[in-house]
Amino acid sequence: MKKVKLLFKALLSLWIVYNIFVMLVMPNVGAYFGRVTANVVTPYANTVGLNAGWNFFSPEPAHPMYLKYTVYYPEPEITPENAPESEEGSGSSSPLEERDPVEGYFPVQNDKRDVPNITHKREWALMRYMVLDAKRLRILMGPWLCRQYPGAVSITMEHVIETIPFLDQAVRFQDESMKDLSKEVQSLRETVSCQGGMDEESL
Amino acid sequence: MIKKLWAQWDWFWFAPQSLLGLAYMRIMLCATLLYMNITRFYNLEFYTDSSWIPRVQAMKVMPELGRPLFMWMFWPDSMNFAMNLVLVIFLGLLTLGIGGRWLMWITWIINAGFLQRNYAVNFGADIIGALFLFYMSFTQSCERLSIKNLILPKTQFRQSDILSSAMIRMMQVQISVIYAYTGWEKLKGGSWWDGTALWSVLANPQMTTMDFSFLRHFPWVIPVIGYVTILFEIYFPAMVVWHRTRYICLMLGLSFHAGIGLFMGLMPFATVMVSTYFLFLDPQLLEKGTCLLLPKLRVKVRTSDT
């Protein structure tokens, strides 16, 4: 029994050393130790959830940001069937009726939905994930927005950052509102077609 | 020499410990995850093909070095409601101290499945909560502060076995590593060095629950809190190891996370982090505190201990 206990402790000790090594290496996996030990470290770390970087609000805290999008609808087509003289009695959804582009924001601005705070945090996390790479906007966000607006032909997405004024500036111009001191910066712009036909792209 | 080293290693990692701190941690961690998973009922569509990430892309959206070997989500998206209900029930039972290692293992797997299904909507509390649930699933976390002990009083409470002791230590090491890394990462940022980083956080209406722009009338507060944050995070491992600074460090952490929870609307993150603090508290102090907080339990504990 004593030998079994000792063997168990020895095996557990090996795991302890390995796990501590993984927890130290994974947050900085791009560094030398991470690169040379990736084969031994990452399969385990990624399976148990040790594959996280602990970089809360760092290296720099994020500025307020959102995804602004514009949904475009097709131009009305004039055919013999829907020409103005045959339009009579065709109802309100005439194909000739032009639909104005729709503007929207993700996450929804001034959200009135009755949802828990965590929903907002998740949507915000998602937006931040999407705007890190234009590909994500084209492959994931764009098609999702197309599904939200049936009939749309294309959607243009812009990553907008509202910069926070430097502390010194905010102190110096105390009479001005934060909104006035803030600047709007557009860092990314992508357009996706909602009608297919685009080359298939992988993440 | 080797014998002496082994004895110290053996004592540090495998010596029996009180399970009361672990039980408090279990209640706080599982209750937080319970709340988060109840709110997931509002967001179940996030984990289906009608959301941003189709199932076939679930692994591909993760960074290449961060992809798991396989998906823990063994159920189809159509069963999300049922699986989340199971998860909520299991977390409820674990909060009450009903269940054990196996139940917590299954709970961790289901929870990990949801996290992997839509990696992009996870935030700090999800990731850290799941990590500690993983470690905790190897422990006797339901030995103390269980509702079962109120109904069927135990004659005596066990101390931790080898595996539980090792995992309690591992969780202590893990939280220390998390804090140290968050501090080191901040040192990479110019605004943290400059002392103004916290201004960008507090003046950001997307991050706060109230308007903090009034702080520009007291600007010196910003760098003071900013530098204290960095010092607290970097030196947490050292401060928590040394008994003279341990309680100062934990009190600092408590106020730091209370601030994050209240003013940044990140209460689940705050409670997940603070739940680990129970592992650093003196067991005798915890026993006394428990008796003061729960006088009814005092009778039970006394009767069962004698």
Residues B115-146 pLDDT 10s: 999 999 999 999 999 999 999 999 999 999 99
Closest residue by Cα to residue A168 from B211, B221, B219, B213: B219
B162 and chain A: CB distance < 8 Å anywhere?
Answer: yes
Residue-wise over A132-151: b if at least 16 C-beta within 10 A, else e? eeeebbbbbbbbbbbeebee
Q: Which amino acid is located at B137 in the chain? A: S
- Residue A161 β-bridge partners: A65, A185
Of A101, A86, A201, give the one whose Cα is nearest residue A145. Answer: A101
Sheet of strand A65-72, all strands in order from the earlier edge strand to the far edge: A102-106, A65-72, A154-162, A184-193
Q: What is the pLDDT of residues B195-238, one digit of tens each?
A: 999 999 999 998 999 999 999 999 999 999 999 999 999 999 99
pLDDT of residue B150: 83
Q: What is the pLDDT of residues A37-53, one digit of tens each?
A: 999 999 999 999 999 99
Q: What's at B133, amino acid-wise?
A: L
Mean residue pLDDT of chain A comes to 88
**Among candidate residues B134, B142, B144, B67, the one with its CA nearest the CA of residue B106:** B134
**A contacts of B222 (beta carbons < 8 Å):** 167
| B38, B73, B213, B272: best to mutate for the A interface, most A CBs within 10 A | B213
**Which residues on chain B are in Cβ contact (under 8 Å) with A126?**
52, 120-121
Which pLDDT band, with edges at 50, 70 and 90, does A199 fall under?
low
> Distance (Å, rounded) from C-alpha B129 to C-alpha B108?
10
Confidence of residue A87 (pLDDT cuts 50, 70, 90): very low
Domain ranges (residues) in chain B: 17-147+157-302
Report yes or no: B167 and B138 within 8 Å, Cβ to Cβ. yes
User: What does the pLDDT read at residue B306?
Assistant: 30
Q: Are A96 and B16 in contact (CB under 8 A)?
A: no
As beta bridge partners, residue A69 has A104, A157
Summary mean pLDDT of chain B = 93
pLDDT score, position A148:
95
Best B204, B225, B230 member to test A by mutation, with max A CBs in 10 Å, is B204
Which residues 3-32 of chain B have a CB within 8 Å of chain A?
Answer: 9-10, 13-14
pLDDT at A200 over 90: no
Chain B's closest residue to A116, CA to CA, is B39
Nearest to B170 among A19, A27, A49 (CB): A19
How sure is the predictor about A85, in pLDDT bands with cuts at 50, 70 and 90? low
Mutate: best of A22, A120, A138, A167, partner B, most B CBs <10 A: A167
ipTM value > 0.90: yes
- Give B10-45 pLDDT, tens digit per residue: 999 999 999 999 999 999 999 999 999 999 999 999
Query: How many beta-carbon contacts under 8 Å exist across A and B?
Result: 180
How deeply is B153 buried, as exposed, middle or buried, from its count of CB atoms within 10 A (0-12, 13-18, 19+)?
Answer: middle
Distances, alpha carbon B167 to alpha carbons A87, A88, B12, B33, B127, in Å: 75, 77, 11, 20, 18
